[in-house]
Amino acid sequence: MIVVIQCTDSVGLVATISSVLATANYNIISMREHVDVEENMFFARIVVDASEDSKNVAQFLTKVLPPNAIVKINPLPEKKVVVLVTKEYHCLSDILVRNHFKTLGAEVQGVIGNHPDLKNISERFNIPFHFVSHENKSKENFEAEVISLVHAYNPDYLVLAKFMRILSPAFITEFMLKIINIHHSFLPAFIGASPYKQAYKRGVKIIGATAHFVTNDLDEGPIITQQIIPVNHSFSLADLVKIGKENETAALAKALHLVFEDRVMVYNNKTVVFD
Amino acid sequence: MIVVIQCTDSVGLVATISSVLATANYNIISMREHVDVEENMFFARIVVDASEDSKNVAQFLTKVLPPNAIVKINPLPEKKVVVLVTKEYHCLSDILVRNHFKTLGAEVQGVIGNHPDLKNISERFNIPFHFVSHENKSKENFEAEVISLVHAYNPDYLVLAKFMRILSPAFITEFMLKIINIHHSFLPAFIGASPYKQAYKRGVKIIGATAHFVTNDLDEGPIITQQIIPVNHSFSLADLVKIGKENETAALAKALHLVFEDRVMVYNNKTVVFD
Amino acid sequence: MIVVIQCTDSVGLVATISSVLATANYNIISMREHVDVEENMFFARIVVDASEDSKNVAQFLTKVLPPNAIVKINPLPEKKVVVLVTKEYHCLSDILVRNHFKTLGAEVQGVIGNHPDLKNISERFNIPFHFVSHENKSKENFEAEVISLVHAYNPDYLVLAKFMRILSPAFITEFMLKIINIHHSFLPAFIGASPYKQAYKRGVKIIGATAHFVTNDLDEGPIITQQIIPVNHSFSLADLVKIGKENETAALAKALHLVFEDRVMVYNNKTVVFD
Amino acid sequence: MIVVIQCTDSVGLVATISSVLATANYNIISMREHVDVEENMFFARIVVDASEDSKNVAQFLTKVLPPNAIVKINPLPEKKVVVLVTKEYHCLSDILVRNHFKTLGAEVQGVIGNHPDLKNISERFNIPFHFVSHENKSKENFEAEVISLVHAYNPDYLVLAKFMRILSPAFITEFMLKIINIHHSFLPAFIGASPYKQAYKRGVKIIGATAHFVTNDLDEGPIITQQIIPVNHSFSLADLVKIGKENETAALAKALHLVFEDRVMVYNNKTVVFD
């Protein structure tokens, strides 16, 4: 069982928490704790040897912790996710394969695409695909259609698996800290459009990918994980894009694994990752 | 201040420890805990916001923990080390530079070489160098000379910085878990002599280096850290050796950093590394 | 167009080859050349600006090069491959997805499994799956069935994507240097069975995977590529296996990419890889 | 012997070059060639089995190659370098140690510092140190003093080993493509001042270092090599700086190795690196 806690820090907090666990006769197998001293915030991820919270420690913890405490006890019902895509298959296929073999750590409920290209691969894995074109309609109307589809699933997370539309603040606010994006650059390098083209022109020797939560500041949300891959002068722009996709797939897979195992906590536009 | 604890595990151990810390009004800034479930052993590294143990928690902890508990409270007096070398300069120089600029996290007391080659570099940094030839004498006599020199310094650790003599069980027992070696291969690949030659013949695409504590089973002690570096068909054996040295230097530096910050705990021929 | 040449070395060989290319008015865009001085063998991979060998340089080159010369001119008809599997899905799924989206650089003709587990995923991608049980029959008979199926496809390469049966010398000889295997360790560490279990017991800090051509010396064939992934004390054996699969998938994908682009040449149990 | 050639591309160029080498009876051991198709520029690095250019191929090559050809034949007299520093010791010490043991691939002639801090370490290795304060004088006068000192040495390269002054266009023009800098970020991320502080605020999960030639566009010169190191939420700004220095040292060492072995060619603000 995983116990995840985030709250204002104070002396004795670990003693308080671990006493509650000891009273319930839960043994702590592994514990990671971090205090952001500047912000006076406490973060902990505790693995205990119980399979479910039969002693109701969640309730006891909430009583003894500060009012701003966020307490999560696992096993949550398995996370549910909706995936948003455009045309590129690499991230979605990786997610669909893991989902199919029950190793994603979450359940893919549906895929929404603003192009129909990935309907076929989704349906090969028996996952519903919803084509919502963004053409000939306002962004507001496009997003309203997507939001309506998403709400029908009521997922824990939205995964932008190379979804190439910029979302409005209204959309993002609707799903705050529930949207995970894979950005095809080593943020904050190459913010904005065509990062591989920018990287090619600059002659970089390493390209990166960044998985992050989406907030209202484009490409500025809390970073979950970053990965890189070395490149050299012999790479054409097409080669950069091609090898970059391998990197994007791996970075998004890593980030989803971390989030679905409740290893990622967010505060003040940064993440604490107990990996 | 760092609190490091290793003992038999039981329910409530974190509560016990953190209560002692809370009673002393020490706030926990960062905590890493791990239980080896198979061995029922508990390991923890706790950073608290005190600079020294004015409240004597070490004494309190020892009272409430199991009899096999190892408790270390920092700031220890800075670690002291003696370095053993043969002819290769790369690891020793790196250590001497860091020592000189006070960033090693330990104090180099002296260097002992079974060849005189590194006397010059040691003395450039005002570190005493002792040449103890292994020629024309028994291993027993050679080691007795070295042991005598080491005991005069009474160091916390012996660092084998490319010391190319195999130490006897008697020597190793004398300094059990105090000897850190850098092995020039990705152990357990290429155990024994000439690992780069073996790697060259095998046509590997990656070479490694392994920093480990020395025990009586040659090349079989607890591993602290391992690093690798990619190679290819264009590397001659000499090239492998050359690039391998970069890797050895980095791996040993990393291991020493971890050990000197009390981030490494040993149990049952494995390490727990809270990095 | 890719020109790949392997032959005995001599002074003037590059001049001879490049003159043939210049006479045909093919411009060299990129060239990698390597001489194994110990073996006096020459290896080259040349990219020229023609899309097909309309000037018949292959014929001219064969005339002017030593008798042992191997000359390959691209675009070959796309490579064809048959994949052998047991139960684990990760490598096969990755291959099937790339094949489906035409980015594998080869065409998967069929999958042969000694267990039926991966029939479903193969058929989801419209790839024929052949279940050949190894039970209740001699190795000779089992392999005869497999060989018969493979011959019906006549593939360029056999990919062992976590095929967990040891092949006989007769089988390997039948497809010499056409069989690519992914081994779940950093060879030559942990040769043989259960490498992750060996790694777990040894307490290594890095695990590896090795893609290699299969020869009659088990786990001793020419290495194409090796990849690693860091691990630590918190990894259970199951965790090592899980993260190891990510590494295996990536290493095999990399190796297949290199082989299918004619970047790998084999000589004397080593590979030359012009990556 | 190394032959390095850069010139306008044309069909038959490799044939022309390799014929000259064959006529001189030089055997090609290893060859790397690259054509920048967009720029129609040819780059090659050829290793031949002669130790010196006794047959005068340099002269023959210059005759048969286009007028813009740059031809370099090794062994050049060993490169000579002057190092510019401020206060941080890590890059300079690494260079001084390699220089001392004759493994730098170049000779350090002198060190110039705008602070006196690194005089001691330089002199420990018998390298002249020149303190040129930038205080109480114009940038023009400061640079004039430095230029005068550099000209007295007439080095092949100036290495900025954490030299924290921005150089004027006049200075840079004086030593165009001879100045190598180590920038403490993964360019183009965090251009400008305090990159670690920027990285800390952004919550990145990887930090980088970039070695590049210095041109008049600050932080925009041709990149030679980039290296990264993973970080996490537990790193304070001071920790980022500390681990970043390890990365800077390694990246600069790698870049110098590549440049001193004539593996780096520059064209159009990018590098071709035959590593």
Summarize the confidence of residues B79-100 as an average pLDDT: 97
Q: Are residues A128 and A34 in the same domain?
A: no
C-beta atoms of C222 and B208 within 8 A: no
Report the pLDDT value the prediction gives residue A156, as an integer from 0 to 100. 96
Report the pLDDT value the prediction gives residue A263, as an integer from 0 to 100. 95
Instruction: Say if CB A93 and CB C97 are below 8 A apart.
Output: yes
Could you tell me if B153 lies within 8 Å of chain D, comparing CB atoms?
Answer: no
Report the pLDDT value the prediction gives residue D77, as an integer from 0 to 100. 63
Exposed (0-12), middle (13-18) or buried (19+): which is D73, by Cβ within 10 Å? buried
User: How far apart, in whole angstroms, are the C-alpha atoms of residue C102 and residue D190?
Assistant: 38
| The residue to which tokens 């020459």 are assigned | C42
Exposed (0-12), middle (13-18) or buried (19+): which is C126, by Cβ within 10 Å? exposed
Reply yes or no on whether the pLDDT at D106 is more than 80: yes
Q: Strand D2-8 to strand D70-73: parallel, antiparallel, or no bridges (unpaired)?
A: antiparallel
Shortest CA distance from A232: residue in chain C: C275
Task: Look over chain D and give the mean of its residue pLDDT values, rounded to a whole number.
Answer: 94
Neighbours of chain C (3+ CB pairs under 8 A): A, B, D
Report the pLDDT value the prediction gives residue A77, as an integer from 0 to 100. 64
Beta-carbon count within 10 A of C261 CB: 16
Alpha carbon of B76: minimum distance to chain A alpha carbons (Å): 23
Reply yes or no on whether the pLDDT at B191 is more than 80: no
User: How far apart, in whole angstroms, are the C-alpha atoms of residue B43 and residue B264?
Assistant: 10
In the listed set D58, D73, D88, which residue is the last one of a domain according to the structure? D73
Predicted confidence (pLDDT) per residue in B113-125, tens digit: 999 999 999 999 9
Report the pLDDT value the prediction gives residue B192, as an integer from 0 to 100. 73
Predicted confidence (pLDDT) per residue in C5-45, tens digit: 999 999 999 999 999 999 999 999 999 999 999 999 999 99
Predicted confidence (pLDDT) per residue in D188-235, tens digit: 778 777 889 989 999 999 999 999 999 988 778 999 999 999 999 999
Shortest CA distance from D253: residue in chain B: B246
Length of chain D equals 275
* Residues D109, D114, D120: CA angle, nearest 5 degrees: 60
Report the pLDDT value the prediction gives residue C190, as an integer from 0 to 100. 80
User: Mean pLDDT lowest for which of A255-269, B45-59, C121-135, D247-261?
Assistant: B45-59
Q: Are residues C230 and C141 in the same domain?
A: yes
* CATH number, residue C177: 3.40.50.170
In the listed set A32, A53, A73, which residue is the last one of a domain according to the structure? A73
User: How far apart, in whole angstroms, are the C-alpha atoms of residue C161 and residue C88?
Assistant: 8
Reply yes or no on whether the pLDDT at B21 is more than 70: yes
Could you tell me if D239 lies within 8 Å of chain B, comparing CB atoms?
Answer: no
Q: Are residues C228 and C101 in the same domain?
A: yes
The confidence band for C76, taking pLDDT boundaries of 50, 70 and 90, is low
Reply yes or no on whether the pLDDT at B77 is more than 70: no
Report the pLDDT value the prediction gives residue C106, as an integer from 0 to 100. 96
The confidence band for D76, taking pLDDT boundaries of 50, 70 and 90, is low
Shortest CA distance from C246: residue in chain A: A250
User: Mean pLDDT lowest for which of A10-14, A113-117, B72-76, C215-219?
Assistant: B72-76
Residue partners of D216: CB distance under 8 A and separation at least 6: D169, D172, D173
In the listed set A26, A52, A73, which residue is the last one of a domain according to the structure? A73
Q: What share of chain B is helix, strand, coil (3-state, %, to 5)?
A: 30, 30, 40
Tell me the CA end-to-end span of chain C in Å, nearest whole number. 16
Q: How many domains does chain D have?
A: 2
Q: Are residues C146 and C216 in the same domain?
A: yes
Neighbours of chain B (3+ CB pairs under 8 A): A, C, D
C-beta atoms of C101 and A93 within 8 A: yes
Concatenating the DSSP letter of every residue in A120-159 gives HHHHHTT--EEE---TTS-HHHHHHHHHHHHHHH--SEEE
The confidence band for C194, taking pLDDT boundaries of 50, 70 and 90, is confident
C-beta atoms of B100 and D94 within 8 A: no
Q: Are residues D193 and D104 in the same domain?
A: yes
User: How far apart, in whole angstroms, are the C-alpha atoms of residue B108 and residue D219?
Assistant: 39
The structure tokens listed for D49 are 């089995």
Reply yes or no on whether the pLDDT at D187 is more than 80: no
Phi, psi of A126 (to 5 degrees): 60, 30
| Out of D89, D103, D125, closest to residue B101 by CB | D89
User: How far apart, in whole angstroms, are the C-alpha atoms of residue D43 and residue D13?
Assistant: 11
Domain that holds residue D62: 2-73
Q: Which residues of A touch B35 (CB under 8 A)?
A: 27-30
Report the pLDDT value the prediction gives residue A187, as an integer from 0 to 100. 75
Q: Are residues C43 and C136 in the same domain?
A: no
Instruction: Say if CB B83 and CB B252 are below 8 A apart.
Output: no
Tell me how far CA of residue A67 lies from CA of A19, A64, A71, D203, in angstroms: 19, 9, 11, 26
Contact residues, D window 112-151, toward B, CB-based 8 Å cutoff: 121, 124-125
Phi, psi of A206 (to 5 degrees): -145, 135
What's the one-letter identity of residue A79? Answer: K
Instruction: Say if CB B28 and CB B47 are below 8 A apart.
Output: yes
Predicted confidence (pLDDT) per residue in D126-147, tens digit: 999 999 999 999 999 999 999 9
C-beta atoms of D246 and B253 within 8 A: yes
Tell me how far CA of residue C248 lies from CA of A242, B139, C101, C235, C262, in angstroms: 20, 45, 21, 17, 21
Q: Are residues D107 and D200 in the same domain?
A: yes
Task: Look over chain C and give the mean of its residue pLDDT values, rounded to a whole number.
Answer: 94
Q: Are residues D65 and D197 in the same domain?
A: no
Reply yes or no on whether the pLDDT at C125 is more than 70: yes
Q: Are residues A36 and A134 in the same domain?
A: no
Reply yes or no on whether the pLDDT at C191 is more than 90: no
Residue from A113, A146, A108, A148 nearest A129 by CA = A113
Edge-to-edge strands of the sheet including C206-213? Answer: C129-131, C106-113, C79-85, C157-160, C179-183, C206-213, C223-230
Considering the candidates A53, A94, A156, A219, report the single residue annotated as catalytic: A219
| Out of D93, D101, D103, closest to residue B97 by CB | D93
User: How far apart, in whole angstroms, are the C-alpha atoms of residue A109 and residue A107?
Assistant: 6
Task: Look over chain B and give the mean of its residue pLDDT values, rounded to a whole number.
Answer: 94
Residue partners of A96: CB distance under 8 A and separation at least 6: A108, A121, A122, A125, A127
Q: Which residues, given as ranges, of chain A have pLDDT below 70?
A: 75-77
Reply yes or no on whether the pLDDT at C188 is more than 80: no
Size of interface B-C (CB pairs under 8 A): 75
Predicted confidence (pLDDT) per residue in D10-37, tens digit: 999 999 999 999 999 999 999 999 999 9
C-beta atoms of A226 and D204 within 8 A: yes
Report the pLDDT value the prediction gives residue C71, as an integer from 0 to 100. 94
Q: Which site among A93, A95, A247, A275 would you substitute to test the C interface, given the most C Cβ atoms closer than 10 Å to its Cβ?
A: A93
Q: Strand B264-267 to strand C28-36: parallel, antiparallel, or no bridges (unpaired)?
A: unpaired
Share above pLDDT 90 across residues of chain D, in percent, rounded to a whole number: 87
Beta-carbon count within 10 A of C67 CB: 7
The confidence band for C184, taking pLDDT boundaries of 50, 70 and 90, is confident
Q: Which residues of C touch D25 (CB under 8 A)?
A: 11
C211 by DSSP, 3-state: which? strand
Q: Which site among A97, A121, A260 would you substitute to test the C interface, given the most C Cβ atoms closer than 10 Å to its Cβ?
A: A97
Phi, psi of C230 (to 5 degrees): -75, 145
Could you tell me if D211 lies within 8 Å of chain A, comparing CB atoms?
Answer: no
| Out of D36, D187, D203, closest to residue A269 by CB | D203
Residue from D84, D87, D100 nearest D146 by CA = D84
Neighbours of chain D (3+ CB pairs under 8 A): A, B, C
Tell me how far CA of residue B210 lies from CA of B40, B248, C187, C229, in angstroms: 27, 8, 16, 15
Predicted confidence (pLDDT) per residue in B164-183, tens digit: 999 999 999 999 999 999 99
Summarize the confidence of residues C156-168 as an average pLDDT: 96
Phi, psi of A246 (to 5 degrees): -60, -45
Summarize the confidence of residues D229-258 as an average pLDDT: 96
Report the pLDDT value the prediction gives residue C195, as an integer from 0 to 100. 87
Summarize the confidence of residues B121-147 as an average pLDDT: 97
* CATH number, residue C40: 3.30.70.260
User: How far apart, in whole angstroms, are the C-alpha atoms of residue D136 and residue A222?
Assistant: 44
Report the pLDDT value the prediction gives residue A51, as an integer from 0 to 100. 86
Q: DSSP assignment, residue D157?
A: E
Q: Are residues A16 and A147 in the same domain?
A: no
C-beta atoms of D97 and B100 within 8 A: no
Q: Are residues A60 and A122 in the same domain?
A: no
Q: Are residues B46 and B168 in the same domain?
A: no
